[in-house]
Amino acid sequence: MYEIQTTATFRKSFEKLPRGIQKKAHGLLEILAFDYRDARLHTKKLHGNRVEYSFRIYRDYRGIFCFEDGGIILLLHIAHRKDIYKEL
């Protein structure tokens, strides 16, 4: 099981999401803490120099995370899919 930590950017973005998306994201974060490769997350490794992953919230929203030392998943950002990759 992983420990979930969030960045200030993630927390700020999360508060701006519609309530339904927030509720769904909470459930998916519980799954993420147990297994980041769970099929319900549709996890994908992102391309580029940094080692980051995305997971899907419904069809239109994505969360971005990376791994830290000591079994920690650091949540970096969450937003609509049309915006999230521009902000990385």
Q: H helices within 1-88, ranges in order? A: 8-16, 19-34, 81-84
Q: With 90 as the cut, is the pLDDT of residue 88 above it? A: no
Residues 27-68 pLDDT 10s: 999 999 999 999 999 999 998 767 899 999 999 999 999 999
Name the fold adopted by 3-84: YaeB-like fold (3.30.2310)
Q: Which amino acid is located at 21 in the chain?
A: I
Residues 9-34 pLDDT 10s: 999 999 999 999 999 999 999 999 99
